[in-house]
């Protein structure tokens, strides 16, 4: 099975900060990676798919990059509504999808 | 507007059974593969099961294989998860989620673009 790790596990940031979250796969997954945002008590929301494609309706301050084993999610200017937990998900080993453990972004 | 509404969660004893439902609206349900994803309290996301648009292909996580059964009724725009032999470690919020389709090809991209609000399953004596 492909294991996903994320770093950091949590980050404290201020509104307007640039935030970068890293996701690493235990083996190469090409560009088969998505990023989700989840707020407390809510369902996850798809932000990025295929490593760098922005899902419809998602603000352009979110961007994704990477391929192979190393990926990043960047929020260029953190907004109040962006405080949440972010998960990566690999889709390379279909149908055995796996998620990362999550990165919590909270207010400094 | 795409909507997915789960129901059927609740408290069940270890070894018991439960059937979850997911009612879909706002899109052509029969064109999409569907999925169940769960989240234990305070924990991360775990993919549980997937079913193709015509039910031809069905997949399960090893943790539920042989105990859970996914199914769908395209005439009723509904997705189901029959859960048997439930264990304490099955306690979680269960979400139904739709596969993202590639606009040009219509093929599934194996990412989850719409999710329901979730239904809580608690397995405890």
Residue A108 has pLDDT above 90, yes or no: no
- Which residues, listed in sequence order, are joined to residue A36 by a DSSP beta bridge? A46, A87
Buried (b) or exposed (e) across A7-42, using 16+ Cβ within 10 A?
eeeebebeeeeebebbbbbeeebebbbbbbbbeeee
What share of chain A has pLDDT > 70, as a percent?
A: 100
pLDDT at position B103 is 84
Partners of residue B103 on adjacent β-strands: none
pLDDT beyond 90 at B19: yes
Question: Which chain A residue has the Cα nearest residue B62?
Answer: A96
Q: Is B58 exposed, middle or buried (0-12, 13-18, 19+ CB in 10 A)?
A: middle
Distance from A68 to chain B by nearest Cα, in Å? 17
**Does pLDDT of A95 surpass 90?**
no
Interface contact flag, A95 B113, Cβ < 8 Å: no
Q: Is A82 helix (H, G, I), strand (E, B) or coil?
A: helix
Closest partner residue to A43 (CB to CB) among B44, B50, B95 is B95
pLDDT digits (tens, 9 = 90+) for B70-125: 999 999 999 999 999 999 999 999 999 999 998 888 888 899 999 999 999 999 99
Q: Do B44 and A91 touch (CB under 8 A)?
A: no
In Å, how far are A21, A46, A88 from A50, measured between CA atoms? 16, 11, 11
Q: Percent of chain A, pLDDT > 90?
A: 94
Q: What's the pLDDT tens digit per position in A14-24?
A: 999 999 999 99
Whether residue B45 and residue A34 make contact (CB cut-off 8 A), yes or no, is no
Give the pLDDT score at B72: 98
Question: Out of B112, B116, B118, whose CB is closest to A46?
Answer: B112
Q: Distance between terminal CA atoms of chain B?
A: 40
Judging contacts by C-beta atoms under 8 Å, the chain B residues touching residue A96 are 47, 59, 61
- Mean pLDDT for chain A overall: 96
Q: Which residues pair with B39 in a beta bridge?
A: B45, B93
Distance from CA of B76 to the nearest CA of A (A): 23
Contacts of B116 in chain A (CB under 8 A): 43
Residues 6+ positions from A44 with CB-CB distance below 8 Å: A36, A37, A38, A87, B37, B45, B95, B112, B115
Mean pLDDT of B13-25: 98
Does position A107 have pLDDT exceeding 90, yes or no?
no
pLDDT at B106: 84
What pLDDT is attached to residue A57? 96
What percent of chain B stands above pLDDT 90? 94
């Amino acid at each position: 099975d492909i294991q996903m790790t994320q770093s950091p596990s949590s980050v404290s940031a201020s509104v307007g900060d640039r935030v970068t979250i890293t996701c690493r796969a235990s083996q190469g997954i090409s560009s088969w990676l998505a990023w989700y945002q989840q707020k407390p008590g809510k369902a996850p929301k798809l932000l990025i798919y295929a490593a760098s494609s922005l899902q419809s309706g998602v603000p352009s301050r979110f961007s994704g990059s990477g391929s192979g084993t190393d990926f990043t999610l960047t929020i260029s200017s953190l907004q109040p509504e962006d405080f949440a937990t972010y998960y990566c998900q690999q889709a390379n080993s279909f149908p055995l999808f796996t998620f990362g453990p999550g990165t919590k972004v909270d207010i400094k | 507007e795409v909507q997915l509404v789960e129901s059927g969660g609740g408290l069940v004893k270890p070894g018991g059974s439960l059937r979850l439902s997911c009612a879909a609206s706002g899109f052509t349900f029969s064109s999409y593969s569907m999925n169940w994803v769960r989240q234990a309290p305070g924990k991360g996301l775990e993919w549980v099961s997937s079913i193709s648009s015509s039910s031809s292909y069905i997949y399960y996580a090893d943790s539920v294989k042989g105990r859970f059964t996914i199914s769908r009724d395209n005439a009723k725009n509904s997705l189901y998860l029959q859960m048997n032999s439930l264990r304490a470690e099955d306690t979680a919020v269960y979400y139904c989620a739709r596969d993202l389709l590639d606009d040009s090809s219509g093929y599934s991209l194996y990412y989850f673009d719409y999710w329901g609000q979730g239904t809580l399953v608690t397995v405890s004596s």
